[in-house]
């Protein structure tokens, strides 16, 4: 009698484990992999983010400094 109850609990917990954890995890993994593959394919075809990265000179723009922005420092 107890043996059948334990087997029933084991089957119930195995069922819940499979349908509440394993299958959703498998589906999510499959979906994420498909999204990564599509992004990788877009980047390989040159459509990436739509723009090429800016040149080094364009990235580093030094702001113009006015002499009025600075206060002279005098040591005491």
Q: What is the pLDDT of residues 5-44, one digit of tens each?
A: 999 999 999 999 999 999 999 999 999 999 999 999 888 8
Residue 22 lies in a domain: yes
Residue 54 backbone zone (phi > 0: left; psi -120 to 50: alpha; other: beta): beta
Residue 58 lies in a domain: no
Tokens of 38: 């599509």
Taking a C-beta distance cutoff of 8 angstroms, is the pair 42, 48 a contact? yes
Domain that holds residue 14: 1-39
Residue 72 lies in a domain: no
Split into its structural domains, the chain has a count of: 1
pTM of the model: 0.49
Residue 35 lies in a domain: yes
DSSP code, position 21: I
The DSSP code sequence of 24-60 is HHHHHHHHHHHHHHHHHHHHHTT-TTSSPPPPHHHH-
pLDDT for 12 = 97
């Amino acid at each position: 009698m107890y043996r059948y109850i334990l087997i029933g609990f084991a089957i119930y917990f195995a069922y819940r484990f499979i349908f509440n954890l394993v299958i959703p995890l498998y589906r999510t993994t499959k979906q994420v992999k498909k999204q990564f593959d599509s992004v990788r394919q877009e980047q390989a075809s040159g459509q990436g983010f739509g723009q090429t990265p800016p040149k080094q000179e364009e990235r580093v723009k030094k702001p113009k400094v006015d002499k009025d922005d600075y206060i002279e420092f005098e040591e005491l």
